[in-house]
Amino acid sequence: MALQFTTTASTSAKSEAERAAVLAAPGFGKHFTDHMAVIDWTVEDGWHDARIQPYGPFSVDPASAVLHYGQEIFEGLKAYRREDGSVWTFRPDQNAARMQRSAQRLALPQLPTEDFVESLRQLVGIDEAWVPTGGEDSLYLRPFMIANEVFLGVRAAQTVLYSVIASPAGPYFPAGVKPVSIWLSREYARAGKGGTGAAKCGGNYAASLLPTQEAFANGCAQVLFLDESGDANLEELGGMNVVLVKADGTLVTPKSESILDGITRNSLLEMARDLGHAVEHRTVTLAEWRDGVASGEIVEAFACGTAAVITPIGAIKAKDAADAFGDADAPAGPVTLALRAALTDLQYGRADDPHGWMTQLTEAR
Ligand code: PLP
Ligand code: COI
């Protein structure tokens, strides 16, 4: 049976003026709305006590399992405001399903899709005024789950907390749609065979931070990971999937069991097929990319994900100069820009939705 949410409204909600100041320049991940959704889980009672409560710190016991063994997963999706004032989100069933797969891998309980979607609907319902209007701003929704059992034995926790917080968001990369440079990591892998690479768990991101520091120090926006096979197969960026565009319009994206099954990537590939592009989802080597750029066979590349939307990749930089290629100052390519426009038009309700991917969260104003 679906969970019923109770609501405790915040008594210290931000004023309209404070909220307007945040929405004028939200940045990414810096500001949070007045409420959050919370659901508890225990082995005995399953999922229970679904609630909307004022946004604020949790009380976490120092012996909580998540603080020691990293038993944590999360999701990321956005709420978009349409011109008529209504608020919609993109394929939340896919995020729910991926969170269930992540939960399975991290030995956490699976939250049913209807309760996941309802938690978003409840939170966006009460904090609707925080959904930005105009431009490409949105309300970023961050569902997450932590093992909060107070126990230091190494086993799956028997007490878990699921929560959703919401954060008004502008572009992830401050320069917007300008091509970014990417730092190639040969030294560090993000994931390995049989590991947690396909799960959206905090540990994968922790593993990406050191090479990401290196990327930032070298003027790059993200780090590119290869697989651990020694064949230099492309995996993904620290927080985005990668897609290459061939001169004949074919889209190529790496297939690997250790990368995140990106909902933006999957959707773009389907939209590209609808637009007549061929699509190849297969093993891709770094050499194929580098040689393809040199020969003119690969003409564009982009990063894609919920936070980044579609961001053109200009150049690959690396410790070894022989690994570097591309042009950091090249303009964004036409296929990248056309796909980006098609995706954002769909998300903001400016285009038809032939696949039924949009879910309405609030009524028109
Ligand atoms: N890969 C990683 C490591 C990510 O963090 C993300 C972002 O969520 C993606 C890929 C893209 O996934 P999605 O398009 O579902 O947001
Ligand atoms: C997302 O796109 O939702 C992510 O989780 C990636 C991160 C770079 C914010």
- Extract the tokens encoding 331: 């303009």
Q: Ligand 1: distance of its center to the CA of 255 in Å?
A: 14
How much of the chain exceeds pLDDT 70, in percent?
100
Residue 358: which pLDDT band, with cuts at 50, 70 and 90?
A: very high
Q: Which atom of ligand 2 approaches the CA of 140 most closely?
A: 3
Q: Ligand 1: distance of its center to the CA of 87 in Å?
A: 22
- The CA dihedral of 100, 38, 152, 193, to the nearest 10 degrees, is 20
Q: Looking at residue 296, what is its pLDDT?
A: 97
- pTM of this prediction? 0.97
Q: Looking at residue 50, what is its pLDDT?
A: 98
**95 contacts 73 by C-beta, under 8 angstroms:** no
HSE-CB for 342 with a 13 A CA cutoff: 18
Residues of the chain with CATH 3.20.10.10: 180-347
pLDDT tens digits for range 235-253: 999 999 999 999 999 999 9
Across the range 296-306, mean pLDDT stands at: 98
**181 contacts 317 by C-beta, under 8 angstroms:** yes
Residue 307: which pLDDT band, with cuts at 50, 70 and 90?
A: very high
Question: Is pLDDT at 229 greater than 90 in this prediction?
Answer: no
Q: Looking at residue 195, what is its pLDDT?
A: 96
Task: State the Cα–Cα distance between residues 310 and 206, nearest whole angstrom.
Answer: 23
DSSP string, 144-169: EEEE--B--SSS--SEEEEEEEEEEE
Residue 68: which pLDDT band, with cuts at 50, 70 and 90?
A: very high
> Domain 6-169, CATH 3.30.470.10 — does that match?
yes
Q: Looking at residue 230, what is its pLDDT?
A: 80
212 lines ligand 1 (CB under 6 A): no
Question: Is pLDDT at 228 greater than 90 in this prediction?
Answer: no
Q: Looking at residue 41, what is its pLDDT?
A: 98
- The CA dihedral of 330, 331, 337, 340, to the nearest 10 degrees, is 70
Q: Looking at residue 134, what is its pLDDT?
A: 80
Q: Looking at residue 26, what is its pLDDT?
A: 96
Q: Looking at residue 294, what is its pLDDT?
A: 96
DSSP annotation of 241: E
Q: Looking at residue 1, what is its pLDDT?
A: 82
CATH class of 180-347: alpha beta
pLDDT tens digits for range 252-292: 999 999 999 999 999 999 999 999 999 999 999 999 999 99
Which is it for strands 87-90 and 138-147: parallel, antiparallel or unpaired?
unpaired
**241 contacts 262 by C-beta, under 8 angstroms:** yes
| Ligand that comes closest to the CA of residue 74 | 2
Across the range 66-72, mean pLDDT stands at: 98
pLDDT tens digits for range 166-182: 999 998 998 878 999 99
196 lines ligand 1 (CB under 6 A): no
Across the range 72-86, mean pLDDT stands at: 98
Total Cβ atoms within 10 A of residue 15:
8
Question: Is pLDDT at 40 greater than 90 in this prediction?
Answer: yes
The residue whose two tokens read 């659901």 is 39
Which residue type, as a one-letter code, is found at position 76?
A: G
Residue 221: which pLDDT band, with cuts at 50, 70 and 90?
A: very high
- Extract the tokens encoding 145: 């789950």
Question: Is pLDDT at 31 greater than 90 in this prediction?
Answer: yes
Question: Is pLDDT at 36 greater than 90 in this prediction?
Answer: yes
Question: Is pLDDT at 207 greater than 90 in this prediction?
Answer: yes
Find, among 153, 214, 149, 228, the residue nearest to 181 by Cα: 214
Residues of the chain with CATH 3.30.470.10: 6-169
Q: Looking at residue 176, what is its pLDDT?
A: 79
Which phi and psi (to 5°) does residue 59 adopt?
Answer: -95, 110
| Ligand that comes closest to the CA of residue 243 | 1
Kindly tell me the number of DSSP H helices and DSSP E strands found in the chain: 8, 18
The mean of the pLDDT values for the chain is 97
Find, among 313, 302, 315, the residue nearest to 343 by Cα: 302
Pocket test for ligand 2, best of 306, 309, 310, 311 (most atoms within 8 A of CB): 306
Q: Looking at residue 244, what is its pLDDT?
A: 98
Q: Ligand 2: distance of its center to the CA of 204 in Å?
A: 12
Pocket test for ligand 1, best of 208, 212, 240 (most atoms within 8 A of CB): 240
Task: State the Cα–Cα distance between residues 174 and 169, nearest whole angstrom.
Answer: 11
